[in-house]
Structure 1
Amino acid sequence: MNVNEIISIIIILAAVFAYINHRWIKWPPTIGIMVLSLACSLLLVIFGNSHSLLSENAVKLAASIDFQDVLMNFMLSFLLFAGAIHIDAGKLKKERWPILILSTLGILISTFFVGGAVWLLFGWFHLDIPFIYCLLFGSLISPTDPIAVLAILKQAKIPSSLELKISGESLFNDGVAVVIFITIAEAARSGGADVSAISIGKLFLQEAVGGLLFGALLGYVGYYAVKSIDDYKVEVLITLAMVMGGYMIASHLHISGPLAMVVAGIITGNKVSDEVLSDLSRDYLGKFWELIDEILNAVLFLLIGLEMLIIKVNPTILIIGAICILIVLLARWLSVWFPMLLLRYKLNFEKHAVAILTWGGLRGGLSVALALSLSPEMHRDEFVLVTYMIVIFSILVQGLSIGPLVKRLQKI
């Protein structure tokens, strides 16, 4: 299949599934689309004849899509910018300490807890997977996914302060998680010989701090460019250039493109929108990025469902994956409870905050993309299947139940 055919089929399927969901199922769009995509994939796997034209073309379509490349090198920049542009910087500043601690210390706690528990779990099943690879899995499954979180929280109607904590954490923990993932991956490849505190510190400064500074620079370049004109068509084009050009430059500079997009998006959504845009331009810019967000989310969750067609299924790993769902939930609880324990003397937290933050910490396409980036010797097939199971549970079970959970807790 050529690129034009792949894009056309994906958009057609996303539109059909979105219509079916909106017309009859009436779930949050991202969840509804993923469920329909997943259901179709499962039906083809279970009942389809592997030699039938439909099954062959479906598998061919799924295999022709490099999910890791599409998400990490294209969609992620647009989705993070579109999510950040709607964040209120003033409210974000008030929640800065919980967001900072959750997106740093919380990630580390979860990474090491999951890594250790999964290593023991594989040992119980007599599968010899080195600890360093289990730790690598812990780093890729620990961050809450900003794409899944922002898409589903819109429908959950949780308290605004808690929603900001979850969405803010999910936007910023990406950079930290990627740094940890890259560091552990380098340690795994080199046997730990070339990894030191200095190299880790240098990598963190380059990726995370470099991404933050570059994002601020990008945001203010866009601010002064938009300030000098008054034409919504050109202003929208400038924001597109910021996202596409900025992410490309960040990858060449080896700094965190995702963090740069978050910072640039917050500046654009607050300083640019509030200070220099006319009412007409503000309306067009907001609706443009909202539309981009909705379309790409639909495509992303469709692709997550289609991945089922090409994932290698192993009965033993399915059992391990089911147990890992519980491990990841416990790790999430610890990574929320302990930071809040440290901050409770400085800040007041909402009632049932730990429970809501734990259940609202969704995993999504980012974890799948990182798992797919593993090499075969890092036990890629095993970790991809486990990651996929956790992501599906997170989006379907947690995503659909976070709203009812909040309502029930509010009555207690």
Structure 2
Amino acid sequence: MFTALDNHIQLSTELLMFDVLLILTILTIWLLRKRQIRCIHETGGAMLYGLILGLILKYTDRQWNKKALDVHGCESLNHTTPSLAANITLDNDRHKHVGEQMAFAPEVFFNVFLPPIIFQGAYSLNQRRLFQNSGSVLTFAFLGTIISCAVIGATMYGFVKLSVLLGQTRDGDFHLTDCLFFGALISATDPVSVLAIFTELRVDSNLYILLFGESVLNDAVAIVLTYAISTYSQSGGHHTFSVSAFFFSIGHFIAVFIGSLSIGLSFSIITALLTKFTRLSEFPLLETGLFFLLSWSAFLSAEACGLTGIVAVLFCGIAQARYTFHNLSTEAKTRTKQLFEFLNFLGENFIFCYMGLALFTFQNHNFKGIFLSGAFLSIFLARACNIYPLTYLLNIGRKEKIPANVQHMMMFSGLRGAVAFALAVRDTCTVARRTILSTTLMLVFFTVWVLGGATSPMLAWLDIRVGVDPDEDKGGQASDQVKSAENNTGEDGTPAHAASAPEGQTQASRTPGVWHKLDKNYLRPALTHSGPPLTSTLPVWCEPLGRLLTSPHAYENRERLNDTEADCSSVKLDTAGEDKGAPEGDAETVTEPAHQDDLLEGDLGLGHCADPNWKE
């Protein structure tokens, strides 16, 4: 019998193996960074170690191979007594292959490893540059992901039909919905190795934020798309096109996205208000714990409601960085940033190790040559149909065009990673889904090793600018205008260059955007200690609510109403000599110039930010 003690020893051995893999990965990362080797990224090293361990487990356990043959030969026992069949099963479990047992439930990836990865991506976004390029980022993340899904789905459906004609696939194993499902999950980009090299080399800031913003947001879109396609299949559209199922799935897509977004924002508002009106800043450990648990609650609540927690935790992370972060004590700011950075690092490397291991230890791989070839072709075709046409349309309205070399780099940087694998591994019940998992693994290996390793040569070949100071980046021209504005302001605080703006400028370039007004006059004063008192911005009949939500610090700093906050990605977390729990603006040193968030205004669609022009 396989006792509880045996099971405990088995589980401890499996965890020890993963622990050793992560230790080797960390040492390899140190060596790569010390020697400045960029041909392989840390995630590629993690997968390599997983592959080696999987290979060892697969071909060294001779006893398991022998027992497996014995069990497969017991089909004649189908009509024996149930008790005999149960005894045989239990006896086989004792000799079960270690690699076969080293399999985590798919929900572990979704509920434990993915939330910190997605949250860290949102929490560390440079929001100033994100809003500068928000229209372009949203276009690539939403419309681009839908185009990618459709192109990959249609291409793969053609290859499936070819596979059926050649006898490699049985007719009926794959449906159009399976191909679209594959298109949705493989559209989730994860250019982690590319972005790491971009950070190290300090590439053009606009290229970085376009790729980073797209990868963070399109994960959420891809996940909701997979939900919508699954809903379509379950609503009667599995074999033939159904109008009712189609519109139902579209409604489901919109409802899930909006519902998940609302839950994420709700938890960020709750966290902001709690950290604003309590004295948790006196206890940084409790403050950090509450911040972490409420952020994770956004994910779990959305999942419990039948929505998608990835969307919830994504927008929760963006809002937490925008508002709650500024209510935290200096020590809690440091802890939250380091905590999520560590969880993201550990989670990503664990998943990539597991992917390497799964290539040899997953017992039901289904590799089909034609399907795999079509997948390689379709991801490049879909990426091209995504980047080039959308960039052409965006450049019509952008004042600062996206140049051809940046477009080629974006095309090249469409790596796949943790999200695609986590979506593929959730369901392996059918031949189609097992084929999708096996193909996804091969695509992840190829894009991380080949495309990720070729990033540095490609940057040089495309003549992409490196060593760029974000504050002096010509692409961030508005930042220079703000610096100039700080030295050229009128007595009333109005920037001199804004006051002398030409008459021919558009309304968007002469006045703050609606979002900026809402954020500056209502959201930030309500959720943080900064901004004008709500009693001076809300209507008279809302004065009681204004007094309730306005921080005492807002009255103390009434004369200083210009925005001076930066998002958490641009804050130097140096705790030396700073007072814990001090109000925003007193306890942190920012790396960006004052008035930086004024850049959130302007034409949010197309990447150019107008000059601020307002008076207090």
The residue that corresponds to 1:12 in the other structure is 20
Contact 2:194 2:455 in 1 (8 A): no
Are 1:110 and 2:148 an aligned pair? yes
Rate the CA distance shift 1:321–1:194 in 2: closer, same or farther, 3 A: same
Question: Could you give the per-residue CA deviations for residues 92-128 of structure 1, whole angstroms, max 9, x where no partner exists?
Answer: 1111111111111111211111111112112223233
Letter in 2 for 1:283: T
The one-letter code sitting in structure 2 at the alignment partner of 1:298 is N
Aligned to 2:117: 79
Q: In 1, distance between residues paired with 2:157 and 2:410?
A: 26
Give, in whole Å, the separation in 1 of the partners of 2:191 and 2:458.
Answer: 20
Which residue in 2 is equivalent to 1:255? 307
Shift in alpha-carbon separation, 1:51–1:98, aligned structure 2, 3 A: farther
Give the Å deviation of 1:58. Answer: 4.0
Matched, 1:389 2:442: yes
Q: Measure the CA separation in 1 of the matches of 2:390 and 2:133.
A: 13
In the TM superposition, what is the alpha-carbon distance from 1:50 to its structure 2 partner? Answer: 4.5
User: Alpha carbons of 1:60 and 1:358: their partners in 2 closer, same or farther (altered >3 Å)?
Assistant: same
Q: CA 1:394–1:352 in 2, change beyond 3 Å: closer, same or farther?
A: same
Q: Which segment drifts farther, 247-256 or 6-15? A: 6-15
Residue equivalent to 1:212: 261
Corresponding residue of 2:339: 288
Where in structure 2 are the equivalents of 1:226-237 lying within 5 Å? 226-227=275-276, 228=278, 229-230=280-281, 231-237=283-289
Deviates more, 1:200-209 or 1:97-106: 200-209
| 1:202-221 superposed Cα distances (whole Å, 9 cap, x missing partner) | 31232211222222221121
What is aligned with 2:63?
A: 51
Aligned equivalents of 1:391, 1:29: Cα separation in 2 = 14
AA at the equivalent of 1:168? G
Q: Deviation string for 1:61-110 (max 9, x for gaps)?
A: 43x312x2222122111111122111122211111111111111111211
C-alpha displacement of 1:195: 4.4
- 1:65 alignment counterpart: 104
Distance change >3 Å, CA 244–CA 278, structure 1 → 2 = closer
Q: Which moved more, 1:319-328 or 1:241-250?
A: 319-328
Where 1:288 maps in the other structure, the secondary structure is helix
Task: For 2:17 and 2:56, locate their aligned partners in 1 and report how far apart those are by CA, in whole Å.
Answer: 19
Select which of 34, 38, 53 maps to 1:40: 53
Specify the code of the residue in structure 1 equivalent to 2:20.
Answer: I
Q: 1:178 aligns with which of 223, 235, 243?
A: 223
Opposite residue 135 of structure 1, the aligned amino acid is L
Match status 1:404 vs 2:453: no
Counterpart pick for 1:166 among 211, 217, 239: 211
Aligned AA for 2:63? H
Residues 258-277 of structure 1, C-alpha deviations (whole Å, 9 max, x = no match): 1221222122223233x323
Distance 1:60 1:148 in 2: 29
- C-alpha contact (below 8 Å) 1:119/1:134 kept by paired residues: yes
**Matching residue of 2:71:** none
Where does residue 320 of structure 1 map in the other structure? 371
The alpha carbon displacement at 1:198 in A equals 4.3
**Residue in structure 2 matched with residue 135 of structure 1 by the alignment:** 180
Q: Are 1:364 and 2:417 an aligned pair?
A: yes
Structure 2 counterparts to residues 95-106 of structure 1, below 5 A = 95-106=133-144
Deviations 1:228-273 (CA, angstroms, capped at 9, x unpaired)? 3213211210122123222111111223311221222122223233
Deviation at 1:187, TM superposition (A): 2.4
Identical columns (%): 22
Q: Could you tell me the TM-score, scaled by structure 1's length? A: 0.89
Return the offset for 1:302. 1.0
**2:128 alignment partner in structure 1:** 90
- Which residue identity does 1:258 align to in structure 2? I
Answer yes or no: is the 8 Å Cα contact 2:189–2:417 preserved in 1.
Answer: yes
Note closer, same or farther for the CA distance 1:285–1:132 as it changes in structure 2 (3 Å cut). Answer: closer
Per mean C-alpha deviation after superposition, the further-off stretch among 241-250 and 317-326 is 317-326
Alignment counterpart, residue 383 of structure 2, candidates 311, 329, 332: 332
**Aligned mates of 2:177, 2:335 — CA distance in 1:** 48
Amino acid at match of 2:117: L
1:308, distance to aligned residue in structure 2 (A)? 0.9
- 1:85–1:265 CA contact under 8 A, matched in 2: yes
Contact 2:149 2:184 in 1 (8 A): yes
Displaced runs of 4+ in structure 1, greater than 6 A? 146-149
Shift of 1:346: 0.9
In 2, the alpha carbon distance for the partners of 1:411 and 1:247 equals 38
Shift of 1:155: 5.0
Q: Using the alignment, how far apart are the partners of 2:194 and 2:323 within structure 1?
A: 24
In structure 2, relative to structure 1, the CA distance for the partners of 1:93 and 1:84 (3 Å cut) is same
Q: Is the 8 A contact 2:406 2:464 kept in 1?
A: no
Contact kept in structure 1, 2:231 and 2:249, CA below 8 Å: no
Residue 341 of structure 1, CA deviation: 1.7
User: How big is each residue's C-alpha offset from its partner over 1:274-323, in whole Å with a ceiling of 9 and x where there is no partner?
Assistant: x32333332222222222222222212111111112344556x1453144
**C-alpha spacing 1:20/1:353, structure 2 compared with 1 (3 Å):** closer
Question: Greater helix percent: which structure?
Answer: 1
Letter in 2 for 1:217: S
Q: Any conservation in 2 of the 1:208–1:259 contact (CA below 8 Å)?
A: yes
Separation in structure 2 between the aligned mates of residue 411 and residue 178 of structure 1, nearest angstrom = 32
Please give the per-residue CA displacement for 1:325-351, whole angstroms capped at 9, x wherever unaligned. 122112111111121122111112144
| Equivalent residue, structure 2, for 1:239 | 291
- When residues 151 and 241 of structure 1 are mapped into structure 2, their CA distance, relative to the original with a 3 A threshold, is farther
Correspondence 1:336-347 to 2 at 5 A: 336-347=387-398
The match for 1:373 among 426, 440, 445 is: 426
Deviation at 1:355, TM superposition (A): 1.3
Q: Give the partner amino acid of 1:177.
A: A
Change (3 A) 1:189 1:267: closer
Q: 1:378 to 1:188 in 2, by over 3 A?
A: farther
Counterpart amino acid of 1:77? P
Looking at structure 2, the residues matched to 253 and 240 of structure 1 have their Cα atoms a distance apart, in angstroms, of 20
Count of aligned residue pairs for this structure pair: 406
Alpha-carbon distance in structure 1 between the residues aligned to 2:111 and 2:431: 22
Superposition TM-score, scaled by structure 2 size: 0.61
Superposition RMSD in Å: 2.8
Partner SS for 2:328: coil
Cα distance change of structure 1 residues 212 and 102 upon mapping to structure 2, 3 Å threshold: same
Partners of 2:185 and 2:317 lie apart in 1 by 24
Change (3 A) 1:262 1:156: farther
